[in-house]
Amino acid sequence: MSTTIDLARTYFTAVQDGDIPALGDLLAEDIVWHQPGAHRFSGDHRGRDAVFALLGAMMEASAGTFAIDTVHSYMDNGDLVAASIHFSGRRGELTMAMDGVDLLRITDGKITEMWLFSTDAAAEDAFWGH
């Protein structure tokens, strides 16, 4: 049986590889995704389809450049895994590159809830726009 950290590693590998079928297998159908900030993608997104729509819109807005470059570390506590990451993207002449933390709740082998944190929320808001 996989540990929560194993599942989180599989998730981040799928994200970095753009493996949509693998992501579909990892996300619970009723996942709740908490996107921080005060930009056009901020808010709670409920359900796997809504999360895929969100991620697709972010990739479209960044011309496919939005990426998690590095996962620095994983930490677990019961059904929660925190991953320290670095992410970046380009949107027109704007660039963004910063560290963050993704917090995943894993239940019965699926990611059921996701919270995202960034080191510079104002810069992320400016990058994504309204």
> For 47-106, how does the pLDDT look when each residue is reduced to its tens digit (9 = 90+)?
999 999 999 999 999 999 999 999 999 999 999 999 999 999 999 999 999 999 999 999
As a whole number, the mean pLDDT across the chain is 96
104 neighbors 113 (Cβ within 8 angstroms): yes
**Has this prediction a pTM greater than 0.75?**
yes
35 neighbors 53 (Cβ within 8 angstroms): no
Provide mean pLDDT across the span 99-127.
97
> Distance between CA 95 and CA 119 in Å, rounded?
15
Return the SS3 of 13.
helix
> Distance between CA 14 and CA 22 in Å, rounded?
6
